[in-house]
Structure 1
Amino acid sequence: MTRTEPIAVTLITERGNLLPLDGETALLRLPANSGHGHKDGDTCPACAALTDVRALLFNLLEEVRLGLRPAFAKVIVDASAVAEPGKVVDALTGRLPAQALRDHTVARRFYLAGAA
């Protein structure tokens, strides 16, 4: 992957506000929960893995590096189903502590451009 400039992330927090996609935009959809028997907001490792926006953004970079997807210049994160979208904002703006090298990589490569 040769792209090194920061990548804009737009966060969608309300249903129906999804922006049009183009060839330079990647889309991540964060689910509310997996539907396996707990209410939204409960601590669940399986659901946490599906909604860890920093891990998902890192995975996008890795897919490009491995040639599994084309390079992208923007990302839209659809968090309209997430019970607490503020946690997604916190992850994207560095208010949550970095847990792994991938979190530092994401902090250097992505920035929150806006929310809708």
Structure 2
Amino acid sequence: MTPAVEQPKTTEAPRGTPQFEGLRETLLSTVAPDGHRAEIVGGNILMSLWPRGFYLPVMRAIRSQLEPHARKEHIVDHAPFLFTFPGEERAYGPDIYAAAASAFHTGARYTSTARRSPSSAS
């Protein structure tokens, strides 16, 4: 008997208000200066510095403390991803995150942490 392997499914990120969608499109087309990242905070696109190299040991220490407490289906990491929260009209590139693995089943340049039921995934 061969076990069935579930294939990853692409999920559509939920849409936000027209204003947020416009900000998100502008953000995705923005070329940030070297060493900077762009995020949406409070209805504005803000530039901030990426963490410096000496932050890595701190982020790894936090990650190692979070991982044992994360849900089985979650990933704890410190890679540069843009997370969008359309309901709050925010998009962040956190230094470290714990997120559902399903948030990364997308071809989009951003991930969404919105919960989706298996029947709503395309």
Normalised by the length of structure 1, the TM-score is 0.29
Q: Relative contact order (alpha carbons < 8 A, sep ≥ 6): 1 or 2 greater?
A: 1
Rg larger for: 2
